[in-house]
Structure 1
Amino acid sequence: MKIVMLTGSPHIQGTTALLADEFYAGALEAGHEIVRFDTAQLKIEPCLGCDHCRIISGSCVHEDDMNQILDHLLEAEALVLVTPLYYFGMTAQLKRAVDRFYAINPALLEAPKKVYLISAGADQDPWAMEALVAHYRTICRYLNWEAAGEILALGAGVPRDLEGSEALVKARRMGKA
């Protein structure tokens, strides 16, 4: 299976990076092909809503790192969205990339995918990730993609909070599947 992973944390050695590493390792162990893009480290301009992509057949007005992501995304059978919980949603870095899916919306609607959500946050309230999960599920519903699994690590604000946690085991297992 070809998998695209988009991470959204500005912290390259943060909590969600650790979870992403486990998923990635599990995917490789299972023989999947996986490509990872750390969106906070890339030059991705925000969608302007200018509809240039509709007028010029899928070509965004921005010439930036999003082009390499979109090429892989079209071919992928699965997508993994990895983000720390920032103010009850995904990070701006990841959202910026997701918003740019718009440029190839017609093609994405014809490309079924399994989509996984991996998130961690310092909050411990069970409701803290509800808006993030609703957003993820809405994206899946809109694109006719399968919401295939979620790992939501509450009380995990720094990597050491995950030591010995079930979330790490689940991430590797999810990657293998």
Structure 2
Amino acid sequence: MKVTVITGSPHKKGTSALLADKFIEGAKESGHEVFRFDSAFEDVKPCLACEYCAIHDGECVRRDDMNAWYGKIIESDMVVLVTPIYYYTMSAQIKAVVDRFHGNNAKLSGNKKAMIIASAYGEDASTMEGLEKTYEAILGFMNWEDAGKLFATGCPVREVLEQTNFPTQAYELGKSI
């Protein structure tokens, strides 16, 4: 299976980066081909809603890194979103990538599985509600099948996350696909 992992953290060694690393390790051990797109370290401009893509077969008027990576995302069988929680939902970096799916909705829609992996400082039950609703809305709109969720709550820094079972859970989630 071809898997695209899209990360949204500006911290190369942060909590969600560790979860992405562990997920990828498990997925590769199971024989899957994994492509990683670290949105915070790519040049991804926000969607302008100009509709240039609508008359140019999904090509964006923006000349940034998304144009080069659309093909990888389109040909993937699974898309995994990995993000820290910023104000109860995904980071702006990963949201910019999701917004840019717009130009290729028809090519991306249907026949894909998806997962969400997130880390958060907060540990109460409501911490992940906004992200979960956003993720479910994306699934519904794109007609993608949910293949799993991992919400690592109560993990403000990597050192705390490393003392939990969440990295193992991310690894096992990767192995399970």
Q: TM-score range with shorter-chain normalisation? A: over 0.9
User: In structure 2, what residue type is equivalent to 1:106?
Assistant: A
Q: What is aligned with 1:154?
A: 153
Structure 1 position 163, deviation (Å): 2.0
User: In structure 1, what residue type is equivalent to 2:155?
Assistant: A
Deviating 4+ runs (over 2 angstroms): none
Q: What is aligned with 1:57?
A: 57
Q: Does residue 131 in structure 1 map to residue 162 in structure 2?
A: no
- 1:167 and 1:70 map into 2 onto residues whose CA distance is 30
SS in 2 for 1:61: coil
Q: Map 1:94-133 to 2 at 5 A.
A: 94-109=94-109, 111-133=110-132
User: In structure 1, what residue type is equivalent to 2:144?
Assistant: W
SS in 2 for 1:123: coil
1:43-82 Cα distance to aligned partner (Å, 9 max, x none): 0110000001002221110121012321101110011100
Q: Does residue 166 in structure 1 map to residue 174 in structure 2?
A: no
Q: What is aligned with 2:46?
A: 46
- 1:48 and 1:112 map into 2 onto residues whose CA distance is 27
SS in 2 for 1:86: coil
- 1:101 and 1:167 map into 2 onto residues whose CA distance is 29
The number of residues matched between the two structures is 176
Structure 1 position 95, deviation (Å): 0.3
SS in 1 for 2:9: coil
- 5+ unaligned residues in a row in structure 2: which ranges? none
Q: Map 1:27-42 to 2 at 5 A.
A: 27-42=27-42
Q: Does residue 4 in structure 1 map to residue 4 in structure 2?
A: yes
Structure 1 position 106, deviation (Å): 1.2
Q: TM-score, normalised by structure 1?
A: 0.97
- 2:103 and 2:136 map into 1 onto residues whose CA distance is 20
Percent identity of paired positions between Structure 1 and Structure 2: 44
Q: TM-score, normalised by structure 2?
A: 0.97
- 2:156 and 2:116 map into 1 onto residues whose CA distance is 17
Q: What is aligned with 1:140?
A: 139
- Does structure 1 retain, via aligned residues, the 8 Å contact 2:116–2:150? yes
- 2:137 and 2:71 map into 1 onto residues whose CA distance is 23
- Does structure 1 retain, via aligned residues, the 8 Å contact 2:59–2:67? no
